[in-house]
Amino acid sequence: MSSKNVTLPRWVDIAAIPLTNVFLAFLVAGVIVLAIGENPLNATQILVSGALGSGEGIGYTLYYTTNYIFTGLAVAFAFHAGLFNIGGEGQAYLGGLGVGLVLLAFDHSLPFAVLLPLCILASMLFGALWVLIPAYLQAYRGSHIVITTIMFNFLASALMVYLVVNVLTPVGATEPATRDFDPASAIPFVHEVLGAVGIQMDSTPLNLSILLALAACVFVWLYLWHTPWGYELRAFGHSEKAAVYAGVKTKRIILVTLCISGALAGLVGVNEIMGVQHRLILNFTAGYGFAGIAVALMGRNHPVGIVLASLLFGILSQGGAELSFEIPAITRDMTTVIQGLIILFSGALVHLTRPWFERLFAFLLQRRPAAATQGA
Amino acid sequence: MEFTAIILTLDATLRLATPLIFCAMAGLISERSGIVDIGLEGKMLAGAFAAAAVAALTSSAWAGLGAAIVVSVIMALIHGYACITQRGNQVVSGVAVNILASGLTIVVGTALFDQGGQTPSLSKESRFHALNWPGADSIKDVPVIGPLYADLLSGHNLLVYIALLAVPFTHWLVNETRFGLRLRAVGEKPEAVDTAGISVAWLRYRAVLLCGLLTGFAGAYLSTAQNAGFTRDMTAGQGFIALAAMIFGKWRPLPTLGACLLFGLLDAMAIRLQGVKMFGTIQVPVQLVQALPYILTVLLLAGFIGKAVAPKASGIPYVKER
């Protein structure tokens, strides 16, 4: 690679390079839009105004953002320990099962104030349980977490189809889903809360789960950077050998890290099942688990970055839906393409742009003394 | 089960195992060179779309196959560039390939055909059709041998036979040739290969190219032989089952073929078992049979069925100067 020994300023590392990578992803996306015969600038304008131009748009955007924060945090949390939890999709699915089972059992008998913590715990517990076997195999049997969590995504899907179709759907129902839960058990929608204090807002799926997502961000930030466990976790991720030498119990780190990661992904179930659907349905995870990888990579595995990246992905999801109404040639799958491009440029090709910046700075540093002597 | 039912199930097994065989051999060659490939699914999907789209436009199955190979190889080169030249994370790159393929096939498909991402239904001449082996019709009524020859061996399309030939080819390539020796070495200890004056990058690029070639065949099979056109996410996880089969076969061609056939058989059984009650009353959930490949692979990885040891250098980018 480049032999120039240039130390880049910190702002280049945490802002300029990541932004350049995201810019490249959007550039390629723009070329694709051009190639299918549409105007990318026009498309971007429709996308942004669709996502942010109305109360309804903002509501939907923030509803999508909530899910992306949960799965993005899940991926990032494990990344810090050098573990790649690719099973967020399955863990989120199981988290929803946990919420659904609690509500099926208690929605008529327990008050909301008891149900809410119970459902949050259930979603986290089920999400964590779904990663427990892969985590155990990684820690004690040396099998690779990536492969096992992929397998568990498919197992989650098979299990959920079986449970929902064969066990939980009431007799005589026309589509596979549980009965509707008691309306009193639902997490309040933001438009309801705002309506109660006299502010009008169009009804959207956005509910108070978004506060839970922000709380999860604070939790991850505190855990990773302000507790001894977080320190051990990051030390393990940085250098396993050094961590072992320092007395870190690596097997326990792997188990705890992945279980917390699974629990974070499971929280998608709270937003979707308790907040939006109010019954357990199939395929409510809709790719949020995989998108979490893009969110974590783009957000540089930091809670603040993840909130920003989730917001961008929320805008893309909602704006993309609007865009496909306006320009049918650009389907919602364009959002998927952009996700893939961001994973490619911010993840796999993350080293691509660094030499460009190094060369640029080497050039600037060379110029400076020359300019100084010229002036003298 | 009576004899004809067994023949029919085995026949279905072969048809269902074909894309798995192509993909598992593709993954095997890539991983033996040290490049982890969880993007088999995406490359196969992109190949399937390219094959169906070009076959629909040109009415030629062969042009479709060519397009599938070209597109899969391009995807493989993106993966190769990220993993080999840029030394990026191979799993991340594989995920990117999968997600890109899932989105791009629909975006381009909608732009081309305006049918919600599907390609038009392919006519007979733009697909690969069954090849009847000589004498299949005359021998058909001979008991046992007749159905075995006429129904099981004969009557598949060309790609099924190419898949079966890909296995001994992979075995020969990996185990019997100089290229194969170097390929295995580069997957275990790239420093040694480098010291011998052989380019690690070029070897790995060739492995990745072969991987793209084989996944292209798998894609073309799905959309222009097994089915008559492309539908959204039609690979439905088969790329990952192939990955599981490769692990199950411990990164060796012949055992991997066995695993592909086993998983194909499970799939064929799942279709036949739909609604059938076993042992009088117990109905086996179809989902359980469909999930068996994944359960078996997890058990294998857990060390309960033998031990699966991946090539030592797989997943680790090679850095020449340290």
| Rounded Cα gap, residues A335 and A363, in angstroms | 38
Query: What is the residue-averaged pLDDT of chain B?
Result: 88
- Residue numbers in B near A351 (CB within 8 A): 86-88
What does the pLDDT read at residue A1?
A: 44
| Rounded Cα gap, residues A145 and A90, in angstroms | 14
A132 falls within a domain: yes
| pLDDT surpasses 60 at B55 | yes
pLDDT digits (tens, 9 = 90+) for A158-193: 999 999 998 999 988 888 999 999 999 999 999 999
Report the relative pairing of strands B277-278 and B282-283 from DSSP bridges.
Answer: antiparallel
What does the pLDDT read at residue A2?
A: 44
B318 falls within a domain: no
Cβ distance A155 to A94 under 8 Å?
Answer: no
Find the domain containing A251 and state its range.
39-328
Structure tokens at B184: 């295995």
What does the pLDDT read at residue A275?
A: 94
Quick one: closest CA in A to B75, which residue?
A344
Structure tokens at A103: 């509500």
B307 falls within a domain: no
Cβ distance A92 to A269 under 8 Å?
Answer: yes
Which site among B49, B91, B235, B240 would you substitute to test the A interface, given the most A Cβ atoms closer than 10 Å to its Cβ? B91
Burial class (CB in 10 A: 0-12, 13-18, 19+), B315: middle
Phi, psi of A208 (to 5 degrees): -70, 0
Under 8 Å CB pairs connecting chains A and B tally to 144
Q: At A310, which CATH number? A: 1.10.3470
3-state secondary structure A16-83: HHHHHHHHHHHHHHHHHHHHCCCCHHHHHHHHHHHHHCCHHHHHHHHHHHHHHHHHHHHHHHHHCCCC
Q: How far is CA B77 from the centre of its chain?
A: 18
Other C-beta atoms lying within 10 Å of the C-beta of residue A60: 24
A163 falls within a domain: yes
Cβ distance B277 to B17 under 8 Å?
Answer: no
Q: Do A158 and B102 touch (CB under 8 A)?
A: no
Structure tokens at A314: 């929320």
pLDDT digits (tens, 9 = 90+) for B56-110: 999 899 999 999 999 999 999 999 999 999 998 899 999 999 999 999 999 999 9
- Residue numbers in B near A89 (CB within 8 A): none
| Rounded Cα gap, residues A227 and A234, in angstroms | 11
Quick one: closest CA in A to B301, which residue?
A143
- Residue numbers in B near A297 (CB within 8 A): 92
**B189-218: buried (b, 16+ CB within 10 Å) or exposed (e) per residue?**
ebeebbeeeeebeebbbbbbbbbbbbbbbb
Other C-beta atoms lying within 10 Å of the C-beta of residue A246: 12
Cβ distance B245 to B263 under 8 Å?
Answer: yes
Other C-beta atoms lying within 10 Å of the C-beta of residue A279: 15
Query: Would you call A297 an interface residue with chain B, using a CB distance cutoff of 8 Å?
Result: yes
| Rounded Cα gap, residues B170 and A353, in angstroms | 37
Query: Would you call A327 an interface residue with chain B, using a CB distance cutoff of 8 Å?
Result: no
Find the domain containing B232 and state its range.
3-125+141-301
pLDDT digits (tens, 9 = 90+) for A58-84: 999 999 999 999 999 999 999 999 999
Cβ distance B44 to B218 under 8 Å?
Answer: yes
What does the pLDDT read at residue B146?
A: 72
> pTM value?
0.90
B311 falls within a domain: no
Cβ distance B42 to B282 under 8 Å?
Answer: no
What does the pLDDT read at residue A361?
A: 86
DSSP string for residues in A180-203: PPPGGGSPPBHHHHHHHTT-----
Which site among B78, B100, B321 would you substitute to test the A interface, given the most A Cβ atoms closer than 10 Å to its Cβ? B100
Residues of chain A with pLDDT under 50: 1-3, 375-376
- Residue numbers in A near B89 (CB within 8 A): 84, 347-348
B246 falls within a domain: yes
Instruction: Give B63→chain A minimum CA distance, Å.
Output: 22
Positive or negative, the CA dihedral A100, B297, A70, A74 is positive
Q: Do B302 and A166 touch (CB under 8 A)?
A: no
| Rounded Cα gap, residues A29 and B276, in angstroms | 49
| Rounded Cα gap, residues A50 and A46, in angstroms | 6
How many domains is chain A built from?
1
Percent of chain A whose pLDDT exceeds 90 = 71
| Rounded Cα gap, residues A278 and A288, in angstroms | 19
pLDDT digits (tens, 9 = 90+) for B273-317: 766 666 666 677 888 888 888 898 888 888 776 677 788 888 888
**Residue among B206, B235, B232 nearest B73 (CA):** B206
A82 falls within a domain: yes
Cβ distance A299 to A313 under 8 Å?
Answer: no
**Residue among B69, B77, B101, B79 nearest B217 (CA):** B69
| Rounded Cα gap, residues A280 and A165, in angstroms | 11
Quick one: closest CA in B to A84, which residue?
B91
pLDDT digits (tens, 9 = 90+) for B14-36: 999 999 999 999 999 999 999 99
What does the pLDDT read at residue A216?
A: 97
| Rounded Cα gap, residues B120 and B101, in angstroms | 19
Q: At B109, which CATH number? A: 1.10.3470
| Rounded Cα gap, residues A280 and A185, in angstroms | 13
How many domains is chain B built from?
1
Q: Write out the E strands in chain B.
A: 277-278, 282-283
